[in-house]
Every structure is written in C-alpha cells, then in structure tokens.
Chains A and B, each alone.
Chain A
Amino acid sequence: MSSNAVLVLEDGTVFRGHSFGARGERVAEVCFNTSMTGYQEIITDPSYHGQMVTMTYPMIGNYGVNTPDRESLRPRVGGFIVKEVAPLHSNHRAEMSLPDYLVEAGVVAIQGIDTRELTRRLRVDGAMMGILSSEDDDADSLLAKLHAAPAYVGVDMVRHVTTEQPYAWTGDDHRPQAPVGDDGQLSLFEGVPAEGQARYHVVCLDCGLKFNSLRELAARDCRVTVVPASTSAEQILALRPDGVYLSNGPGDPEPLTYIHETVRGLMAAELPLFGICLGHQMLTFAAGGRTFKLKFGHRGGNQPVMDNETGKVEITSQNHGFAVDPDSLAGSGMVITHLNLNDGTVEGMRHERLPVFSVQYHPEASPGPHDANYLFGRFIDAMAARR
C-alpha cells in the first residue's frame, strides 16, 4: 500500500487515505464532479485551476491516460481525490497509468477515502477550502496551514492559465508555438498563418480554454487564433476575425475587469461573439450584469438544460461555481435563452440585437455528452450572416 495522505477541510473534517500522486501539499477549493467517465479531460481542464476535484464515481484510472484526450498541455487540478485507483488500466489507446501521469505532473492525489461523505458535506455545507498533503499527517498542523493560506475572494485565476503568447491551432497533435516574426520577436499581429481552406477566422480569447473548443471550431472550417486573456479589443479587432470565442476559465469572474473591458469593446464592434462558461460570465459583466457564487456549483456531465426557444432539453457538461444573476440582466440587452432544469439557474443568453450569445455550460463537452454541439453551428451561422 502506498504512503499516507490526508485531506483536511476548512471546517476541520479530516479524511485519511493513501497518496497516489506526487508528494507534496496543496491548498485549494474542494469541489466534486459527477461524471463517470473523462477523468483525464477533467484533470487537464484549466477551469479547475485552484481547485481540487473529487470524483464521485469511485473507480478511477481504469483506462489510463493518452495524448489525444488531454484538454490542455498538462494537469491543472490543484489536487485529485478518488475512492479507488485501478491497479491496472486497460484500453487500446492508453499510453500511461493515471498515477504515473499525476506523479510526473506534480499533482497531489489521495485515494481510499469516503468520497460520498465528502460530496455530501460539500452539498450540505457548500464549497470549502481544503488542504491535501502527502507529507504532513498531523491534522491540526494542516488545518493551521489551511487557515493561514490566502483567501480566494477577488483573485484573478485566469492569469495562471491563459496562454502567454498567441498561437494558431494546428490540430490534435498540437504543440502550440508562438508565431515568430522575421526579427525573431514574438509578433501577435503578423504571424498568424492563413490556412488554406478555412472559411472563417475565429479569435479565441483564452481564459483557460479546453482544446476541444478548438477542435470543434477547426472541424467547422475555422482558422483559430488563440490569444492571451489580457489581449485588448483593439488588438483582437486588428486580427480581423469573423468572430470571437470567449473561452471557459477558472475562478471568480468579477475581478477580471480587464476582460470585461475587452468584451465590451468587442460588443461595440458588433462582432459575432460566442461565450462559454467564464466567457458567458464575461459577457454578463460586459453587458452590465452580475454573477453570484453557487453553494457548491455544477460539475458533471448530466445537467439538463432547456432551450427556451425550442423547448428541447439537452444534457450538458458543466463546470462552474458562479452563475449569472438573472435580475441583473434587466436593461442589459441580453435575453435569457437557456435554463437549468435542476435549479432554474441561467444557462444561456443572447443579445437582443447583436450576434452575441453565450452559455454557462460546455458545448465542447470533453468530457460529457455532445447534445450542445449545435451551438458551434449557431456561431458559424452568425459569422456567415455577417459576411
């Protein structure tokens, strides 16, 4: 049996289990995800920056990990919590085991705890900070360290996960390389390669995006340029995109005022905008609305969402801790288009006049169902209509 690991929650609850990742100690918000498949996509989803994820499905690691299924270049979770890790993985696409992957990437992970108890606690008492350690097994000492750690409120998480340099998406075997100008300097505005058959040029504002967004756009004949979250509206407009994709990302949307500003600028330019998750919240702030923190968030692949305009239900992949306050949208020009059928929260909106729309969930799935895939088509249509 591997060495011990301990998880201590903000409220003092202690879970003792076994380490199966890197040695170390991490402080992060503890959340749970109810997807039964897709742990690799979850681990590599930049939206989980600053969070440790509990998988409610108890048996994890069954099919190993592989390169094509990653959603960013490396694991992003601030810790990983499972009931039991498979002793042996089995899948023809597997390249390595989950524990090896986590050790290599320096992710601290614990197994052998009552993950259902942990989940119930988070459901009942709300999201909590936690400390996960494979080095210190003294609960009191860990709790003291947890209390001493800086708070999350008002912190910009996006800057930790956004791309440092702009790049062009070149496909699944992707190794993002910043376009380099003749002078050897990184150049944002000239280096973007014009791909042969691409019909549209989409700029993706990277707040912590998942590769599958890019795969979906590329599959619809889009040339995609990914730019850092700090890129201004002017800089983006200078790339002469047909539309801008506002990606998902981690943390509290409120302090990200520089992005709110950028999105406001893009709206003013009346460009087709498609926001997902954090991008949806960025649009909210840009339009003058607000968000609020959910008790424990929506994280999983089975959330039912109703499209108010068609009356159809889609099963969606979700990962968010904040939601849009519907009252705050009054007078913003944004119209609510999608609602969560579980708790009635806002799941999507569009602008009453502009080709601007967004959803709180993940149409790019990965992991999760493909029901919301059609939204990429809507984005294409919006760009086509502007031509």
Chain B
Amino acid sequence: MPKRTDIQKILIIGSGPIVIGQACEFDYSGTQACKALKEEGYTVILANSNPATIMTDPEFADRTYIEPLTPEYIERIIKIERPDALLPTLGGQTGLNLAYELARRGVLDEYRVELIGASYEAIETAEDRDLFKAAMAEIGIDSARSDMVSTVAEGLAFVEQSGLPAILRPSFTLGGTGGGIAWNLDEFKSMLEFGLQCSPVGTVLVEESLLGWKEYELEVMRDLNDNVVIICSIENFDPMGVHTGDSITVAPAQTLTDREYQHLRDASIACIRRIGVDTGGSNIQFAVNPADGRVVIIEMNPRVSRSSALASKATGFPIAKIAAKLAVGYTLDEIPNDITRETPASFEPTIDYVVTKIPRWAFEKFPGSDPTLTTMMKSVGEAMSIGRTFKESLQKGLRSLEIDRFGFGADGRTLPDTSSTEIRRRLRVPTPERMFYLHHALSEGWSIEEINEITKIDPWFLAQLKQLVDMEAELRADAKKRSQSNAAELPQPDMALWRRAKENGFSDFQLGKIYGLRQSKVRALRQAAGINAVFKMVDTCAAEFEAHTPYYYSTYERECEARGSDKPKIMILGGGPNRIGQGIEFDYCCVHAAMALREDGYLTIMVNSNPETVSTDYDTSDHLYFEPLTREDVLSIVEAEKPQGVIVQFGGQTPLKLVKQLERAGVPIIGTSPDQIDRAEDRKRFKELLEDLGLRQPENDTVTNEEQAIATAERIGYPVVVRPSYVLGGRAMEIVYNHEQLERYMRFAVEASPEHPVLIDKFLEDAIEIDVDAGSDGERVVVGGIMEHIEEAGIHSGDSTCSLPPYTLVHSQVDEIRRQTHLLAKGLNVIGLLNIQFAIQHGRLYVLEVNPRASRTVPFVSKAIGRPLAKIAARVMVGQTLEQQGFTHEIWPEYVSVKEPVFPFRRFPGVDPVLGPEMRSTGEVMGIAQTFGVAFYKAYEASGQRLPLKGTVFISVKNEDKRSICLVARQFEHLGFTIVATDGTGAILKRNGIAIEELLKVSEGRPNVLDMIKNGKIDLIIDTPSGDAAKADHHLIRKEATMRDIPTITTLAGAMAAVQGIASVQAGVEARALQDYHSQLKRSRSR
C-alpha cells in the first residue's frame, strides 16, 4: 500500500525530560520519526519540553513546540496547528499517556485528529491490567495467576492453589504502600491484613510470584496489511524480580530451543493482533519457568520502548523510522532495508554476534537510598556492547560503564567484604555489584549449581562466567611463572594464551594488572605478536547480503571489514552511558558535530557505547563504532581509521579523561589543546592563569590532611566548599559551615592524601551564579549565552534553574562578564566551546570554574538563541573562523528562556530532596515566553510540578531569608493565597502585617504541618533549609511533599520566581512554536 495522502499534518509528542525509565531513547526514536515523516513530505508538528533533544532542533520538524507536556498545552497546540493525525507511539509512556488522555477527553474528536499507529482501544487494552489479562486469555496466552481479594480467607484460598511466595498489591495506595512479597503463610496473613487496611477500597491484588523465572522480550512490528515480523529477541541475565531496565540483558535469546522460541514468536504475533496495534513496534515481555517451560506473558508496550532502541542498535533495524513509515500506510515490503539496500524491511534480522546491555546506576548520588534492584527501575542509563561471544560482549560491556572497571574482575579492584555469608547475601540480593560478587564466588570455587540455587541466574550464563574465571586463572599462572623466572630476560607471556584472552574480551588493562605490566606495554607486546582487534559489521543479516552502512564493532578474529576512504576523516568521541551529570546534552553536541562536518564533506566517525542515543544511529555519522570509550578501544579504532582529527570536547568527561593518554599515543586531537584543557582543570595552573589575567576567584587552597584543612578553612573563613580534586558532577562535594562538619567530612567522606588532595574554596553565600557558554576560533570570541541562576551559588549548576537572558543583572555586570569571558577564552586559546561559571557577591564578579569544552547548557542556549553552537564549534575545530560562519555577535533574545532540572527523588524514598553542590538531576526542561514569569511557570510545569494558581502556601524559611520572604508572602496574599506557617517564620510574617494561619511543627504535637500535607490541604511549599544539617522537620516535610507531588521550593530566589510566574499565568498563557521565536530574533536582528 502506498503512503496515505488523506493526511498532511502529523503531530508527534515527545517524552519530555530525561527521567529514570524514560531517557534519550525517545529522542532517538522521535528524531527518526520526524526525519522519516518529513522525508515523505508530511508536515511534522512536534511537542516536547526537553531542549537537549535533537528532535527539538528547529530543522527536524516544521513546527516545534517546546512547551509543557500536559493535555492543556497539547490541546492549545492542536488548536493552533490543526494536525490531521497524532502519532502516539514514539514518545515513550509520556507521549502515549497524553495521546490517550486527549482521546479520552474528546479533544481529538473535536479537532478531527486521527490517532495513527495505535488506536484508543489498543492503548487501553494494553495498559489496563484486567483488560489485558482478559484479552490474553481469549487467545490462549497465560498470564500470572492472580485474584483481587477483600478478605484474608479469600487470599488464603488463592495461595493454597498457586503457592508461595505471593505478591500483594493493595489497590489505590501511593507508591505501592502496603505491598510486597510474602514468603511464608504467617507473613502472607499479616501482610494481607495490613494491605487490606492500607487500601482505601479494601482490596488487595494477590498474585502468583514469578521470581526466579527466566525473562524474555520480543520486539514486534506490524503493518497495515497485517504482516508481522520479530526484530529481536532479548534474554535477561537477571531472572524475574529485577526490572528489565535494571537487568543485564542479552540479544538474541540464548537458552531457548527453536520450538520454545517459535512459541514465544507465535504468542507475540497473536498478542499484537489481539491488542490491535495497527502499525509499528511493540515490546512484549514473557516469563518462562525454567523447571517446566511454562510461559506467562507479563506485559506489552504498544509503542516504541527502551528495548526497541536497544533492539534497533543491536540488529541495525531502525524500528522507530520504520514504525513512522508504517503509520502513514506503507507496508514492510515496500520499505527498503537501508543496510543491504536490495532487500526489503519485511524480514527478521539475524545477527552473528552477541549484544549485552548493562544498566548504569547512580546510587552514589543518593546516600541513604537502597541499592537493591527490584521491580521498580532505578538505573539512569545503560551501555551496550557487541562481541562475537557472550564472554567478549560482557567484558566489553563492563568496561563501557564508566565505573572504573575494565572487565569481569581481574582489574585490580577488590570487594569490601568477602566473608562467605556476605558473598551469599550479595549473590541473593541483586544490586549493581552482583556481577563482581559472582566473579568472586566463581574464583573461590563455588559451583554453578550452588550459585544457580542462590541467584536463579541460568546455569548457561554462569558457565560462561566460569570460563572467564578459569581463563583468568590460566593467565595468573602464566604471569606467576614469568615473575618467578630467574632468567636474565623475563620470558614472554604466552601469546597463544593472550590471543585466547583477547578473544574472550580481556582488556589490556586486565592483562596489565595480572602481569604487572603497563597497559601500553601489554599493547606493544600483543601487537608484536600480531594480536590486533579487527572490526566486523552489524548488517541485519549475518553477512548473507552485502552491507552498505559501515556500522562496526571490534573483536579478535581473522578478517577485518573496516574500509578505507579518500575523504578527510574526523572522529568524534561520544559520552558513553547516561548518568547523572553526563547525559543527553553531550550526545546532542556529538551529533551536531557529526552533522556539521558531514555536511562539509568530511567522513565522520562516531565512537560511543550508549544504545539510547541519536549518536549511535548508523544514519548520524559516516562510520559508527559501537565500542567502549577506553584508551585501548579508541586506539584500535584510530589505528584502523587513521583520522585527521579527533574531537574530544563534545562527549563530556568520558572522552576528556582520555585526552592525555590519547595525546601521548600520538592521536591528533583537534580543538582546544589538551594542555590548555589541563590548565583549566589543574587547580594550581588555573590559579596562575587567573592571576595572570587579573581575575578573581573565591579564596581557596589545596590540602592533603585534616589539620591543613582546618587551618585553611579558618584562614579563609567558613562556610567553605570542600571536594576531592578532579571530581565530576560535584561528586562528594559539600558546603561546610563549621569546624565539626569539616572534621566529619575529612574523616568520613574523603580519603585525603598527597596523591588525592582535597580542595577548599571560600563559599560565596547569597551570591548570584552565572553560567556562560561561548565559542572561540582563537581570534574572535562570541558569547553564546549568559544564564543567570535562580538559586543562589552553592547548588550544582546542573541542578539550578536558570534564565537566558539574565533577569536581574544590570548592564555593567553583563559587560564585565563578557570582558572576562573574552579574556579567559583567549587566555586558554580556546578553539571551540568554553563554559564559565561566575558568581556575583556584593557586586563583585568571581570566576568559579572554566571548562574549555561543550557544556550541559549548549543545547539549551542553542535553542534559546537560534544558532547551533556545537555545529559552529565543530567547524571552528576543523579550521573555519566564526566570521566565515557568520557568528560574530552575541544574540540577546527579547523573549526569555528558562531551564529547569528534573529530579528522581521519588525513586529513592528516604533521600532528602534538598539541593546542594552534588548534582542529582537526571534531565531538564525549557520554558519559553515573552516574560520571565511565564517562562519560569512553564518550565516548572514542564518539569512535572505544576505551581498552583490558588490555594494554600506553606512557608518556612531560614533566618537569613526571613526579611526577604515578607515580600514574597505579600505577593501570595495579593494573588489570593492562604498562607500557613509555623512559629518562626509565622511571627515575622505577622509582624509585617501578613495574615497567616499558624501551624504546629511536627515536634509540637498534632495536628501539625505534616498532617496538613497528608490531608492534601497544602498546595505549595516554600521551605528553605538552613545550611546547617537540615532539621528533621524539614526532612519529613520535603519527603512527604515529594511522595505526594506537592511543589516544593527550597530557595528564596525560587520562591520569588514562582510568585512572579503565578502572577503572570493567572493572566493566561499561550503556546508558541520555536520557529516563531527564532524568526522574532531575525526580525529584531534586522532592525
């Protein structure tokens, strides 16, 4: 069937900010969809609040709305644009839920917008537990047995049949309160009683436990002609009980016979037909009982998912792109397979390698959180790796994680506690470290049977791990033989053994640790023996057809498929797995570099290990290497490709930390020189630079022990910021206010030593923080954007809300910022991008930090000013001047853009959601409007926390803020809010003539503030904690508010912005396309 001509305009809804469970994979899918639909001549309308996405670049859609993803805003957009169709299946759960809600409210009918891809009924059947279960029963597919019970007796009758353990899910409780797993009958009874009490409707869903079953996923596609294909099968390493997003997963399925696999395939096809997903991709999850093969369907996502992104990267089959084409009427056989060109997309990819995905967690960012992996996803990113065997793939995956591991053990790292009981516990309870405890247990000779008994991990996987441990033992024996040799010249390591080790994915780093050799020596030795990485292609067809897309992975075999080229080559190093502090923003910059240089005729080479990203789409660059970003792996690619230049400044910290090693190995790094990067990072050199330039920084010093620390702090005066040197994303950074805190920090938080000094900076209290992004070609420096933070200095810039242009700075201050930016860019001889953090305290400008590289704010600034900073910088790095690119003047928009971070606190109950110098946000949103107030309000709303337009506001502020809060409170009063406060703040407010209702503190008895919150009587909380360790009251209040989604503002500046926003929005807001804002820029420029 040819494409539909009865529709012209299609609305796509993105997935909003990066949050746990919904990351940049939806930028990848959405970008593919936008490209595919535009290619087909449709007008694409896009709504997404996340500025760090490629899809929201103005050229990817005809009309781009960076607006909050709420039904109200989407309705406004529909009203303006009048699309013919809405494609709901490419924007994650957010996009799907919104589309569903709009259909439910009748908005789609009212404006005659057709849902394409999946109908309302299909979404409902897939998403509603009961409907889904019934639908599956209809077509003979088993679901987990369950029963909704309202008495203990009913529950007992159920478990009598289906056995224990059983899972209890009380109906309508918040965050799963009262639920859990019951392992024995006593526990079951008491948990059920409690669950029935917890549930407001007095019912509990009791479910058969599938813990320990094998878990599989199939990626399915269907077209309008009812052709269905399976793109990929995935087997989880971690059995049922760990969320699939938190599981190590492997593609294809490993331990299913053809009969069993075909059974899952048949069931998947039946499922997608029954649910009625008309076109596009779906993800279907199954559990299989290892004892008897019983198959149970767990769930179906009637949309493109995280696993679809993984499946696309794992097979080379672009699921989202094809899904978009199917949605407009094409059938699979009408769409060519890009990779083979000659064969159609109506086939099932077959692969001749093993793909492993390993999640990346960030528990270290959330002290006090429980790192146990459960059915609630907690990972913030993932790495994917490709190898010819599972062993190779796993080892590559582990060294891709950016956790300072270089494979499955043998990398010189040790475990804190290796007592037998501890090992047993760590094997039983899944955590991010379980893999390394498996290594330990196998090394200690634990049997596969025993470990399988404890972990339920399939013996096939364990046997593979055992092979790695055995090989490590062989290597150690060889190393020992060598070290015990009396010969004058040490004997060569056994190169035949090394070859096998390399085939099994051992890194040079691991070999170096085992043999006591430097990595570079290991490399030299093996290369002399002819042991070199070769590159194989990902081609969807296991070499049956010729592949035209150079998408490679490394392995140690005989034939290398990497191709030469006459074009000048530029290699871009990506950012690796997403984690807090290193997210989609850097991938955005890498993609831009690839796009710009490709346009200019360079052959671009991308290296990255993150399957969720646009950068790892084979379409983005000319050559794609899906590889770990380690010295060894990057050097192998450099040797194969021999690029003229390597760009390291776009991928964040991951490539930056390789800079020195790469430079030493002779890799041609372009852009700002590694020495200048070091000058900005090295405290001593940086201090000298600032002194040379005559710029001011907060008083600071470097210390190596507690005494020095205390002496220094006393000299420069408390409060001070303390942190270990060379930290990323504010790791272990703290603001300390007194002697005791500093002592505690030095004793428990860091291990200071001459090799690992601790940095102490004067903390600038009540200062305004400013971020600047600028570009420089070595001659000219142009400011991209000056962003004023709303929170005062001391909160990690990644966690701060900021405004572009600044909203309180005066001209002279802005001029001074510009002057210093120019000096610093010149001083560091920046070629490319530069990010500076300034602070203004008492009218004085301080330089806090300079990063001569792309920063997290580059995409935001680019969108705000309508110029692609990363592209401009990439071109500068290959020799074009800013003038040649027409970027000679700073753009100062008339409208205001606000960037607001989003936080994962709900995923980590028990963690105090207060902001500090340690970054904890996972993503960000953007609000744009003609005034600051509206932009702030929109950004806040887009971050998922709507500010109330009326109601009750609870105010509790620290002493320093008490004077200023009166102004804010008065504004709230004028806006018609009821103000409640406890005695301290309340007294001040009353004294200033503001009517308040007084509340008891938690410690003062009941009913207190917490009761009010729990009863839903409070709509907004303004709670600024004193820098001194937050009081128990505040902790409880914020925790409760987080769980209940009550907007909580923890800074005075935030409160001021909020009240301004509420005031503006009470007057009404509108949606407006990014393209319109940008043409406003052009108009003002031409004026």
CA distance A300 to B389 in the complex (A): 20
CB–CB A341/B255 < 8 A: no
With A57-B542, A59-B354, A117-B558 known as contacts, the answer to whether A91 contacts B258 (CB < 8 A) is: no
Q: Do A301 and B348 touch (CB < 8 A)?
A: yes
User: A57 touching B351 by the CB < 8 A rule?
Assistant: yes
Whether a CB of chain A sits under 8 angstroms from the CB of B1069 is no
The residues of B that contact A347 with a CB separation of less than 8 Å are none
Task: Please name the residue on chain A nearest to B559 by beta carbon.
Answer: A117
Q: Does B466 reach chain A (CB closer than 8 Å)? A: yes
In the complex the two chains form, is A119's CB within 8 Å of B460's CB?
Answer: no
Contact A341 B333 (CB under 8 A): yes
> Interface readout for A306-321 with B: 1 if CB under 8 Å, 0 if not?
1000011101000000
> Which of B233, B257, B344, B536 makes the CB contact (< 8 A) with A116?
B536
Question: Given A83-B388, A88-B460, is A302 in contact with B350 using a C-beta cutoff of 8 Å?
Answer: yes
Closest chain A residue, CB of each to CB of B265: A369
Asked if B954 is at the interface (CB within 8 A of a chain A CB), the reply is: no
Considering the complex, which residues of chain B in the window 677-715 have a beta carbon less than 8 Å from any beta carbon of chain A? Answer: none
28 sampled A-B residue pairs with Cβ under 8 A: A35-B350, A36-B233, A56-B352, A58-B353, A59-B389, A68-B259, A69-B258, A83-B389, A84-B388, A86-B460, A87-B463, A87-B466, A90-B255, A90-B463, A92-B291, A92-B293, A114-B558, A115-B352, A116-B543, A119-B542, A304-B333, A313-B225, A313-B346, A341-B344, A342-B347, A367-B262, A368-B258, A370-B266
Q: Which residue of B lies closest to A314 (CB)?
A: B227
For A343, the chain B residues whose CB sits under 8 A away are 342
Interface residues of A in 47-87 (CB under 8 A from B): 56-59, 62-63, 66, 68-69, 83-84, 86-87
**Are B256 and A37 within 8 A (Cβ)?**
yes
Asked if B229 is at the interface of the complex by the 8 Å CB criterion, the answer is: yes
Query: Which residues of A are found within 8 Å of B741, using beta-carbon distances?
Result: none
A90-B460, A93-B257 given; A304·B346 CB < 8 A: yes
Known: A59-B390, A313-B227, A342-B343. A88 touches B350 (CB 8 A): no
CA gap between A32 and B544 in the complex, in Å: 9
* A302 contacts B333, C-beta separation under 8 Å: no
Cβ contact within 8 Å between A123 and B544:
yes
Partner of B350, one of A92, A301, A311: A301
Contacts of B343 in A (CB 8 A): 304, 341-342
With A90-B255, A302-B347, A302-B348 in contact, is A116–B293 under 8 Å at CB? no
Q: Is A38 an interface residue (CB 8 A)?
A: yes
- How far is B264's CA from A37's CA once the two chains are assembled, in angstroms? 13
CB-CB under 8 A from B290, the residues of chain A are 92
Residue ID in chain B nearest A122 by CB atoms: B543
Select the residue from B258, B293, B352, B545 with max chain A CB neighbours within 10 A: B258
Q: Determine if B717 is an interface residue (Cβ-Cβ < 8 Å).
A: no
CA distance A93 to B226 in the complex (A): 34
A41 to B, closest residue via Cβ: B258
Q: How many Å from the CB of B102 to the closest CB on chain A? A: 34
Q: Mark A11-37, 1 if CB is under 8 A from B, else 0.
A: 000000000000000000000101111
**4 A-B pairs with the lowest CB-CB distances in the bound complex, closest first:** A38-B258, A88-B463, A367-B258, A56-B542
Measured CA separation A188–B291 after assembly (Å): 44
Please, what's the 1-or-0 string for B322-349, where 1 marks a CB less than 8 Å from any CB in chain A?
0000000001110000000011101111
B254 contacts A by Cβ under 8 Å: yes
Q: Taking A91-B255, A123-B543, A341-B333 as contacts, is the C-beta distance between A36 and B350 under 8 angstroms?
A: yes
Q: Judge whether A304 and B347 touch: CB under 8 Å.
A: yes
Residue among A41, A59, A92, A315 making CB contact with B229, cutoff 8 Å: A315
Provide the residues of chain A in CB contact with B353, threshold 8 Å.
58
Given contact pairs A87-B463, A92-B292, A120-B543, enumerate 9 new A-B contacts (beta carbons under 8 Å): A34-B541, A34-B542, A40-B257, A57-B351, A83-B388, A89-B460, A91-B257, A313-B227, A367-B262
A365 at the interface (CB under 8 A from B): yes
B258 touches A315 (CB 8 A): no
**Could you say which residues of chain B place their CB within 8 Å of the CB of A59?**
254, 354, 389-390
How far, in whole Å, are A40 and B258 apart by their CA atoms in the complex? 9
**Shortest Cβ distance from A125 into chain B, in angstroms?**
13
- B257/A66 in contact, CB under 8 A: yes
Q: From residue B818, how far is it (CB to closest CB) to chain A in Å? A: 57
Query: What residue in chain A is nearest B1 (Cβ atoms)?
Result: A311
B459 within 8 A of A: yes
Chain A residues with Cβ under 8 A from B344's Cβ? 304, 341-342
* Cβ < 8 Å to B, chain A residues 348-383: 365-370
> Which residues of A are found within 8 Å of B255, using beta-carbon distances?
62-63, 90-91
Determine the interface band of chain B, counting residues with CB < 8 A from chain A. 35 or more
**With A90-B458, A91-B255 as contacts: A116 and B352 at CB distance below 8 Å:** yes
Q: Contact partner of A56 among B262, B448, B458, B543, CB < 8 A?
A: B543
Q: Specify which chain B residues have a CB less than 8 angstroms from the CB of A368 in the assembled complex.
A: 258, 262
Q: Which residues of A contact B541 (CB under 8 A)?
A: 34, 302
A162: interface (CB < 8 Å): no
B400 CB to closest chain A CB (Å) equals: 20
CB of B261 within 8 A of chain A? Answer: yes
| Bound-complex Cα distance A368 to B230 (A) | 12
From B291, B347, B545, B561, residue with most partner A Cβ within 10 Å: B347
- Which residues of chain A are near B233, meaning CB under 8 Å? 36
B16 at interface (Cβ–Cβ under 8 A)? no
Say yes or no: B254 contacts A62, CB within 8 Å. Answer: yes
User: Which chain B residues border A315 with CB–CB below 8 Å?
Assistant: 229, 346-348
In the bound complex, do residue B545 and residue A342 qualify as a contact, i.e. CB atoms below 8 Å apart?
Answer: yes
- B261–A37 contact, CB under 8 A? yes
Query: Are B557 and A116 in contact, CB atoms less than 8 angstroms apart?
Result: yes
Query: Quick check: B559 and A120 within 8 Å, CB to CB?
Result: yes
User: Given known contacts A58-B353, A119-B352, A369-B262, is B346 in contact with A88 (CB within 8 Å)?
Assistant: no
Looking at the complex, which one of B292, B332, B352 makes contact with A313 (CB distance below 8 Å)? B332
Q: Quick one: which of A204-239 are within 8 Å of B by CB?
A: none
Q: Tell me which residues from 1018 to 1069 in chain B have a Cβ below 8 Å from any Cβ of chain A.
A: none
Any B CB within 8 A of the CB of A303: yes
How distant is the Cα of A53 from the Cα of B950 in the complex, in angstroms?
74
Given the interface pairs A92-B291, A370-B262, the reply to whether A63 lies near B257 with Cβ below 8 Å is yes
CA distance A120 to B545 in the complex (A): 9
B544 to A34, Cβ gap below 8 A?
A: yes
Say whether A365 contacts B388, CB under 8 Å.
no
Closest to B263 in A: A370
Residue of B nearest to A112 (CB): B503
A37–B343 CA distance with the chains assembled, in angstroms: 22
Closest residue to A299 on the B side, CB-wise? B544
Neighbouring A residues of B545 by C-beta, 8 Å = 123, 342
B467, CB-defined interface residue at 8 Å: yes
Which residues in B have their C-beta under 8 angstroms from that of A300? 350, 542, 544
Choose among A69, A342, A343 the residue with the greatest number of B CB atoms under 10 Å from its CB.
Answer: A342
CA distance A58 to B350 in the complex (A): 11
On whether the beta carbons of A57 and B262 are closer than 8 Å, the reply is: no
User: CA A343 – CA B260 in complex, angstroms?
Assistant: 30
Chain B residues whose CB sits within 8 angstroms of the CB of A365 once the complex forms: 262
Q: What distance in Å separates the Cβ of A28 from its nearest Cβ neighbour in chain B?
A: 20
Which A residue sits closest to B289, measured CB to CB? A92
Which A residues lie within 8 Å of B561 (CB)? 120
On chain B, the residues within 8 Å of A38 by CB distance are 257-258
Establish whether residues B559 and A114, one from each chain, have CB atoms under 8 Å apart when the complex forms: yes
Question: Within 8 Å CB of A62, what residues of B?
Answer: 254-255, 460
Residues of A within 8 A of B253 (CB): 37
Give A94's nearest chain B residue, CB to CB. B257
Tell me, yes or no, whether B464 is within 8 Å of chain A by CB: yes
Complex CA gap A302/B290 in Å reads 27
Query: In the complex, how many angstroms separate the beta carbon of B720 from the nearest chain A beta carbon?
Result: 56
In the complex, which residues 100-127 of chain A have their Cβ closer than 8 Å to any Cβ of chain B?
114-117, 119-120, 123
Minimal beta-carbon separation of A305 from chain B (angstroms): 9
Q: Indicate if B729 sits at the interface (CB-CB under 8 A).
A: no
Residues of A contacting B229 in the complex (Cβ-Cβ under 8 angstroms): 315
Pairwise interchain contact B227-A119, C-beta atoms closer than 8 A: no
**For residue A84, which residue of chain B has the nearest CB?**
B389
A36: which of B252, B448, B543 is its contact (CB, 8 Å)? B252
Q: How far is the CB of A15 from chain B (nearest CB, A)?
A: 8
